């Protein structure tokens, strides 16, 4: 079975993720095939728009294939993983910069690497039941695939909250934060696809879209901004600990599950990016971390605890209980330092 279906139908170039049993997890080979299709269609007058969807009901794409990354890490040679991320990020940039409309239909879970495929196009559609997240800090990585760009541009400091806690977003929150544009009931998607393929124009999406239900996280914006607007992870944690509230307690519990190194690096990245619209700048910064991830971060331990042994008890390099000291800041400096000859290029 082909993991990604690439074809032309009517006036559309179609990409369908086809690993439903693996929640359409994105492999290196899938990234290469998607990128090759985008290159072919960029100058193809017969392709008026690109339509990206996925098989199965549970997920559009639950992320990158982290078991593949784990196996590479155990091999002792991170080169293949570094190549995977490099080529995946180039594909993410190509989607973001694509000159023709790119429509994505995202059912179920869209997380991590799925955000890089589904959330950089011009018309990003969710169903009522769709859920979105950037959970990378939970496995010792950072929000990547261009996700840091979306987080940095989210209203207030919502992006810092989403990126460090890994919060799951219902459609209203996802649209508010900048990850998606529209909600269309999933039962209407087959007819929507037929129209998109026949006309080659995304106009029907605006006609079919329904108002999203306001999200719970969006309602917490004042509290999120008050705490997650601090400059560093240490200051965020101190601010939360200084307040006796249900929100602070819940936020601290969420942060306690994730890698302090990853969260501190995420905060640093978002402050460094600011309100940029330059996806290449975001991807180049993300690549600094992931290039070093298999040898110098919590990634292998995070994947082990989450998906290999499934004990949910990772032994992170740093803790949140004591002071977040110079050792953590030094490790963040090292993970995000320029890569010299290994800098991501496009």
**Candidate list 13, 112, 113, 163, residue with the active-site label:** 113
CATH code of the domain in which 293 resides: 3.90.226.10
Catalytic site includes residue 118:
no
Q: What is the mean pLDDT of residues 247-252?
A: 97
CA distances from 85 to 28, 106, 277, 344, 345 (A): 8, 22, 21, 10, 12
Indicate the pTM of the whole model: 0.96
Residue 148 has pLDDT above 70, yes or no: yes
Residue 327 has a pLDDT of 79
**Candidate list 10, 13, 63, 64, residue with the active-site label:** 64
Q: How does pLDDT run across 22-80, given as a tens digit for each residue? A: 999 999 999 999 999 999 999 999 999 999 999 999 999 999 888 889 999 888 899 99
Residue 325 has pLDDT above 90, yes or no: no
CA distances from 308 to 139, 172, 300, 313, 330 (A): 11, 33, 10, 12, 29
Structural domains in the chain (count): 1
**Candidate list 144, 181, 286, 331, residue with the active-site label:** 144
Q: Residues of the chain with pLDDT > 70: what percent?
A: 99
Q: Residue 244: which domain range? A: 1-346
Q: How does pLDDT run across 279-315, given as a tens digit for each residue? A: 999 999 999 999 999 999 999 999 999 999 999 999 9
Catalytic site includes residue 113:
yes
**Candidate list 65, 136, 286, 298, residue with the active-site label:** 136
Q: What is the mean pLDDT of residues 161-169?
A: 97
Catalytic site includes residue 144:
yes
Catalytic site includes residue 136:
yes
Residue 333 has pLDDT above 90, yes or no: yes
Residue 196 has pLDDT above 70, yes or no: yes
Residue 322 has pLDDT above 70, yes or no: no
Residue 248 has a pLDDT of 97
């Amino acid at each position: 079975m082909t993991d990604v279906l690439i074809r032309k139908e009517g006036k559309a170039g179609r990409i369908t993720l086809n690993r439903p049993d693996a929640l359409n997890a994105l492999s290196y080979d899938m990234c290469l095939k998607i990128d090759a299709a985008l290159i072919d269609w960029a100058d193809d007058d017969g392709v008026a728009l690109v339509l990206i969807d996925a098989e199965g009901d549970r997920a559009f794409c639950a992320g990158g294939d982290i078991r593949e990354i784990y196996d590479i890490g155990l091999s002792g040679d991170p080169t293949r993983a570094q190549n995977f991320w490099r080529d995946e990020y180039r594909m993410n940039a190509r989607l973001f910069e694509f000159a023709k409309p790119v429509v994505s239909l995202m059912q179920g879970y869209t997380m991590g690497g799925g955000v890089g495929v589904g959330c950089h196009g011009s018309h990003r559609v969710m169903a009522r039941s769709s859920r979105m997240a950037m959970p990378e800090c939970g496995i010792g990585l950072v929000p990547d695939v261009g996700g840091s760009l979306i987080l940095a541009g989210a209203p207030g400091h919502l992006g810092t909250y989403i990126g460090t806690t890994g919060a799951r977003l219902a459609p209203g929150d996802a649209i508010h934060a900048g990850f998606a544009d529209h909600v269309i009931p999933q039962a209407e998607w087959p007819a929507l696809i037929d129209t998109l393929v026949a006309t080659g124009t995304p106009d029907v999406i605006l006609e079919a879209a329904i108002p999203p239900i306001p999200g719970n996280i969006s309602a917490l914006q004042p509290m999120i901004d008050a705490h997650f607007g601090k400059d560093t992870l240490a200051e965020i944690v101190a601010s939360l600990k200084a307040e006796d509230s249900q929100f602070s307690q819940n936020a601290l519990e969420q942060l306690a599950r994730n890698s302090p190194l990853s969260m501190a690096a995420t905060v640093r990245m978002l402050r460094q990016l600011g309100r940029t619209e330059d996806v290449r700048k975001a991807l180049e910064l993300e690549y600094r971390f992931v290039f070093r991830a298999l040898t110098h971060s919590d990634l292998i331990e995070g994947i082990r605890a989450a998906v290999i042994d499934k004990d949910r008890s990772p032994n992170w390099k740093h803790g949140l209980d004591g002071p977040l000291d110079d050792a953590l800041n030094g490790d963040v400096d090292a993970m995000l330092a320029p890569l010299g000859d290994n800098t991501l290029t496009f």
